[in-house]
Chain A
Amino acid sequence: MRRSSGVDLVRYAVLLVGALALSGCPGPERERPGGTVIIGMRTDFGGLNPITNTGLTTDHVMKYGLFTPLIQYDEDLNPVPHLAESWEMHGDTAVTFTLRDDVRWHDGQPVTAHDVEFTFDMAKTPETASLLASAYLAPVESAQVLDERTIRFDFAYPHAQALEDFWWPPVPRHLLEGVPPAEMANAPFNRNPVGSGPYRFREWRAAQRIVFEANPDYPEGLGGPPSAQRVVFRVVPEAATRLTELLTGGVHIQLNVEPDQVQRVEQTAATELHAAPGTTLFYVGWNNQRQPFTDARVRRAMTLAIDRQQIMDALLRGHARPATSTIPPWHRYSPGTDPLPYDPDQAGRLLDDAGWLEGPDGVRRSPDGQPLRFRLMTTERALNRAIVEVIQDQLRRVGAAAQIEILEFQAMLAQHRTRDFDAVLSNWVLDNFQMASAPRSLFHSAEADVEGSANRSGVRNAELDRLIEAGAVATDDGDALDIWRQFTEVLQREQPFTFMFWMDDLSGARDVVSGFRTDERSEFVSMRDWSVQ
C-alpha cells in the first residue's frame, strides 16, 4: 500500500513537470524581440483612458505613446498640428480642426471627427467627473461635427492660449459609447485600451508591469512606427530599489531620480543623468488668514530670510531654477522678474516695522507678548524634510521659531485643505501649459473660503483677482506677457507664498539606450525614438 502510493506520487510529479514543460514549449512567435526598452516607474498606472485619468505620468504616456492628441507642442511650447493636420480660428470665438485621414485605432477603424466629438461630450458630462474637462475644456462650449474629418468647437468666451485647450487625444467611440458616464472611470476598456498612437497596448500585470508594442501602421506623416519593438513599464515603488535596478541593468530608464541619487547615477559609467527643466514648483505656503502671516511684511521677511539659492545648491545639487510665481522661467509668459534676494538684515528690519521685536530668548514677540512661533508642516519625503530643517535654521537667525511637523501626505493634505495650518512646504505641479489656470486656482479670492478649493492659503487680493481675470482672457501674447509681469510683481510684494524653486525633472538612462531626451514638455517626449542596442 505504502509503496504504491509513493510510486503514484512520483508518477504525478512526472506528469506535472511534463505538462509544465509542454506549456512552456516554443510556440511559433517565440523569437526574442530586440529593442525592448524597460522603464522603471514609482507607481502603477490608474486606467488608460484620457477622459477619466487622474495621474500625470499616465497622462503623458497616453499623449506620447498610446494615443494621438489633436495638437502637440514643439520645443518652444508652441502648439503644432498632430491628429489635427490644420485648423482655422474664427476670431476669438471658435476653431475648426481638419483631422488627418491616415490615423487608425489599433483595431483598424479610422479615427474620425465623431470620436473627437464623443470624447468632448463625454468629458463635459458632469457625471463623468472628468479631469480632462476641468483642465482643458472649461472655456469650450460645444463641439459640432461638420464631416468625418472636420469638427468645430465654439468657445464660451474669448480666452488666452485657446488652441492649447486641445492637447488631449480622442477615445474610440465605437468601443465606449455604451458606457454610462458615471461608470466611465471603471470601464473595462481602461485596462485593455485600444489606442491610436505609435505604441499599442499589449499586456498589463497589476503592480508588476505594463507592456506596449510598436504600432507598425503608425502614419509616416506623424513620424511612422517607433524605433523600439516593445516598451515595458516596470513598477518599482522603493526609490533605493529603483536606483539599484538602473545600476544593474534591470531597467534602462528610470524616472523620478531623487536629488540624493544624482551623484550615483552620474558617477556610474554605464548610466547618464538627464535633467530637464521641470514643472514642479516648491513653495512655502503661509496661511494668509492666520497670525502672524496676515501681514505682508512678515511674509516678505520670511522670504528674505530663507536662502533659496543655498537650498538649491546644497540639497538639489543645482538641479532647480529660481521661482517668482506659478509661471515657470522657461515659458514665453515668464516676465523674467528676479526673486527677492536673500537678505536677513532687511528681514529683521521688516519684522521690527511690523511690531515683532527681539525677545530675551532670541524669539521675536508682538507688542502683546505673543512669540513669533508657528508650525511648519511637510511630508515624509527625505528632500522635503531636509528643506524644512534648513528653513527652520535660517528663520531662527531672524528670530522666528518654526516648529517642524512631518506628516504623512494625506494627513498633511487634510490640514492644508481645511486651512488648519500656519505654514506648509508643499509643491504644485503644472498639469498643462495654460498659464492662467494655476493662478486662478491658487490665488483668486473667489476660492479663498471655498471648502476643499486649491486656494488653501486663503489669499484675498483685489489686484491679484483683477490680473488673474485679465490674464485668462488675454488673447494677444504681448498683452498676456504684460499682465503676467504685473501679476508677478504683486506676488513679489505680497508674498502669499515664498516661491522656492522649480525642481528639474531628473531621470537616468543606461548607455545602451538611444533616443532618450527629456525637456520641459515631458519625460516621454521622445518616446517614439527610444531604442536599445
Chain B
Amino acid sequence: MGIYIARRLLGAVPLVLGIATIIFFVVNLAPGDPTALFFQQGVPPEILEQIRRNFGLDQPLHIRYWRWMIAFFTGDFGYSFAHARPVIDIIRETLPPTLVLAGSTLVLIFVSGVVVGVLQAVRQHRPVDRVLSVVSLFFYSMPSFWLGLMLMLLFSLKAHEWGLPFALPPTGMTSVDYEFMTFGERVVDRLRHLILPVATLSLVMAAGIARYTRGQMLEVIRQDYIRTARAKGLPEGRVVMKHALRNSLLPVITLLGLYLPLLFSGSVFVEVIFSWPGMGRVIVDGIFQRDYPLVMATSFIFALVVVIGSLVADILYAVADPRIRYD
C-alpha cells in the first residue's frame, strides 16, 4: 500500500508539471491584455508600456515561462495585476470559502444521493421510485446556472416579497453586520447564506449519485448472497443496510474522484451567481482582466486539489475493498 501511494505521488509530479505548463500557455496566449480594463481609455501607449514592464510582461514568452515555473515551484506565486497584492494572500483569503462550499456540497450529495438511491432500489417500480426518478432526472438535466437563479428567485426574492419567514439572503457568505452578532446568530447567519449555493450545487450532482446508487443496489440485491441472507431469516432492514448497501457503495466511492472536477467547475458558476467570496469568483474576474499570475495560480490550486482528491478516492477504494490489490 505504501509503495502504491508513493508510486501514485511520483506519477502525479509530471501530471502537475504538465498542468502548470498548459495553464501558462492557455492563459498567456489568449488575446487580450491586463492593461485593457483601465478606466482611462486614452492612456498614452508609452505609459501602458511602462506598466507592462512593471508587470514583467515585456519579456519574451519562453523567458516568462521559465521564470514563472521556477518562482512557482519555489512557492512564489507573484503579484496579482488587478488586486495589486501577492497572489498567495488572495488564495489564503478565498480558498477557505471555496472549500466550505465544496466540502458541504460533497457531504450533502453523497448522503442524500445514497439515501435516495437506496430508497428507490428497495421500492423498485413502486410510486416512490417513480416519483424520485422523475425528480432526480429533472434536477440531473438542469444547468446549475439557471437552477441557481431560479432558487434565488423563489427562496429569496419571492419569499421576501410574500413576507415569508424563511426568506434567504441571495448572496454573500455572511451578513454585513456579522461582526456584531452573537455566536448563535453567527452560526445561523452562515447556514442561511450557505443554503442556496449548496442546494444549487448539490441538487444537480446528488441526482447523479442517486441514479448510480439505485443501479448498483438493484444489481447487488439480485445476488445469491442476498437471497441467502434473506433465506436465513434476517430482517429486511439488516439485509439492505448491511449486506446490500455495503457492497453496492464500493463503486460509489470511485465516483468521489470523478465528481471532484465537476464540483470545482460547478462552484465557479455558483460562486459568481451567489457572489460567494471564493476562488472560483476570483478566477472568473481574473480571466476577464487577464490577470495572468492570479489565474495561473488559482487554476493550478484547483488542479492540485482535484489530483489529490482523486488519489485519496483511489486509496479509499483500496481501503474499503480488500479484494483490490495494488502491486
- A515 interface residue (CB < 8 Å to B): no
Q: Check A410–B277 contact: CB distance below 8 A.
A: no
Q: Check A134–B285 contact: CB distance below 8 A.
A: no
What residues on B are CB-neighbors of A428 within 8 Å? 41
A30 to chain B, nearest CB (A): 6
- A52 interface residue (CB < 8 Å to B): yes
B282 to chain A, nearest CB (A): 6
- B138 interface residue (CB < 8 Å to A): no
Q: Check B31–A244 contact: CB distance below 8 A.
A: no
- B206 interface residue (CB < 8 Å to A): no
Assembly CA distance A209 to B97 (angstroms):
14
Chain B residue total in the interface (Cβ 8 A) = 61
B81 to chain A, nearest CB (A): 9
Q: Check A244–B177 contact: CB distance below 8 A.
A: no
Q: Check A410–B30 contact: CB distance below 8 A.
A: yes
- B141 interface residue (CB < 8 Å to A): no
Query: Known interface pairs A207-B94, A236-B275. Does A410 touch B33 (Cβ–Cβ under 8 Å)?
Result: yes
- A238 interface residue (CB < 8 Å to B): yes
What residues on A are CB-neighbors of B157 within 8 Å? 244, 247-248
Assembly CA distance A52 to B180 (angstroms):
34
- B181 interface residue (CB < 8 Å to A): yes
Q: Check B45–A249 contact: CB distance below 8 A.
A: no
Q: Check B33–A134 contact: CB distance below 8 A.
A: no
Assembly CA distance A43 to B160 (angstroms):
26
Assembly CA distance A130 to B46 (angstroms):
11
Binds A, one of B106-114, B168-176, B236-244, B259-267: B168-176
Assembly CA distance A206 to B272 (angstroms):
14
| One of B36, B171, B277 near A413 (C-beta < 8 A) | B36
Q: Check B50–A135 contact: CB distance below 8 A.
A: no
- A305 interface residue (CB < 8 Å to B): no
Query: Known interface pairs A46-B84, A55-B39. Does A209 touch B176 (Cβ–Cβ under 8 Å)?
Result: yes
Assembly CA distance A454 to B47 (angstroms):
13
**Interface-centre pick from B30, B170, B177, B284 (highest chain A CB count, 10 A):** B170
Q: Check A441–B32 contact: CB distance below 8 A.
A: no
Q: Check A454–B160 contact: CB distance below 8 A.
A: no
| One of B43, B160, B282 near A134 (C-beta < 8 A) | B43
Q: Check A414–B31 contact: CB distance below 8 A.
A: yes
What residues on B are CB-neighbors of A55 within 8 Å? 37-39
Assembly CA distance A36 to B179 (angstroms):
13
Assembly CA distance A255 to B312 (angstroms):
45
What residues on A are CB-neighbors of B161 within 8 Å? 247
B168, closest chain A residue (CB):
A248
Q: Check A452–B160 contact: CB distance below 8 A.
A: no
Q: Check A207–B47 contact: CB distance below 8 A.
A: no
- A127 interface residue (CB < 8 Å to B): yes
Query: Known interface pairs A47-B85, A238-B273. Does A441 touch B172 (Cβ–Cβ under 8 Å)?
Result: no
- B79 interface residue (CB < 8 Å to A): yes
**Interface-centre pick from B44, B45, B285 (highest chain A CB count, 10 A):** B44
Query: Known interface pairs A134-B47, A453-B45. Does A250 touch B169 (Cβ–Cβ under 8 Å)?
Result: yes
Assembly CA distance A240 to B274 (angstroms):
10
**Interface-centre pick from A38, A237, A450 (highest chain B CB count, 10 A):** A237
What residues on B are CB-neighbors of A429 within 8 Å? 39, 41
Query: Known interface pairs A36-B177, A409-B288, A410-B33. Does A245 touch B40 (Cβ–Cβ under 8 Å)?
Result: no
Query: Known interface pairs A209-B176, A241-B171. Does A129 touch B273 (Cβ–Cβ under 8 Å)?
Result: no
What residues on A are CB-neighbors of B37 within 8 Å? 54-55, 409
- B182 interface residue (CB < 8 Å to A): yes
Give the size category of A's interface with B: 35 or more
Assembly CA distance A364 to B208 (angstroms):
55
What residues on A are CB-neighbors of B50 within 8 Å? 126-127, 129
Q: Check A207–B33 contact: CB distance below 8 A.
A: no
B92-106, CB under 8 A of A: which get 1 and which 0?
A: 011000000000000
Assembly CA distance A453 to B46 (angstroms):
9
- A355 interface residue (CB < 8 Å to B): no
Assembly CA distance A191 to B82 (angstroms):
12
- B315 interface residue (CB < 8 Å to A): no
Assembly CA distance A126 to B176 (angstroms):
41
Q: Check A131–B177 contact: CB distance below 8 A.
A: no
What residues on B are CB-neighbors of A54 within 8 Å? 35, 37-40
What residues on A are CB-neighbors of B39 within 8 Å? 54-56, 59, 131, 429, 431
- A440 interface residue (CB < 8 Å to B): yes
What residues on B are CB-neighbors of A20 within 8 Å? 183
- B156 interface residue (CB < 8 Å to A): yes
Q: Check A410–B79 contact: CB distance below 8 A.
A: no
Q: Check A44–B285 contact: CB distance below 8 A.
A: yes
**Interface-centre pick from B33, B84, B167, B281 (highest chain A CB count, 10 A):** B84
Q: Check B40–A207 contact: CB distance below 8 A.
A: no
- A451 interface residue (CB < 8 Å to B): yes
Query: Known interface pairs A248-B156, A442-B42. Does A208 touch B36 (Cβ–Cβ under 8 Å)?
Result: no
- B130 interface residue (CB < 8 Å to A): no
A523 to chain B, nearest CB (A): 14
- B83 interface residue (CB < 8 Å to A): yes
| One of B48, B54, B169 near A185 (C-beta < 8 A) | B54
A86 to chain B, nearest CB (A): 29
Q: Check B152–A241 contact: CB distance below 8 A.
A: yes
Q: Check B45–A241 contact: CB distance below 8 A.
A: no
Query: Known interface pairs A250-B170, A437-B42. Does A185 touch B84 (Cβ–Cβ under 8 Å)?
Result: yes
- B149 interface residue (CB < 8 Å to A): yes
B177 to chain A, nearest CB (A): 6
- B290 interface residue (CB < 8 Å to A): yes
| One of B35, B90, B167 near A248 (C-beta < 8 A) | B167
Q: Check B43–A44 contact: CB distance below 8 A.
A: no
B34-68, CB under 8 A of A: which get 1 and which 0?
A: 01111111111101101101100000000000000
Q: Check A451–B45 contact: CB distance below 8 A.
A: yes
Q: Check B172–A414 contact: CB distance below 8 A.
A: no
- A116 interface residue (CB < 8 Å to B): no
A186-207, CB under 8 A of B: which get 1 and which 0?
A: 1010110000000000000111
Binds B, one of A21-29, A368-376, A387-395: A21-29
- A10 interface residue (CB < 8 Å to B): no
- A411 interface residue (CB < 8 Å to B): yes
- A234 interface residue (CB < 8 Å to B): yes
What residues on B are CB-neighbors of A237 within 8 Å? 272, 275, 281, 284-285
12 A-B residue pairs with Cβ-Cβ distance under 8 Å, sorted by A, are A131-B40, A134-B47, A183-B54, A232-B176, A241-B149, A241-B274, A244-B171, A247-B160, A248-B169, A408-B288, A429-B41, A442-B42
Q: Which 3 A-B pairs have the closest CB atoms?
A: A410-B32, A441-B42, A24-B183
| A interface, CB within 8 angstroms of B | 20-21, 23-26, 30-33, 36, 38, 43-44, 46-47, 52, 54-56, 59, 126-127, 129-131, 133-135, 182-183, 185-186, 188, 190-191, 205-209, 232, 234-238, 240-241, 244-245, 247-250, 408-411, 413-415, 428-429, 431, 437-438, 440-442, 450-454
Given A409-B288, A431-B40, 5 further pairs, Cβ under 8 A:
A46-B82, A52-B84, A190-B84, A207-B277, A241-B171
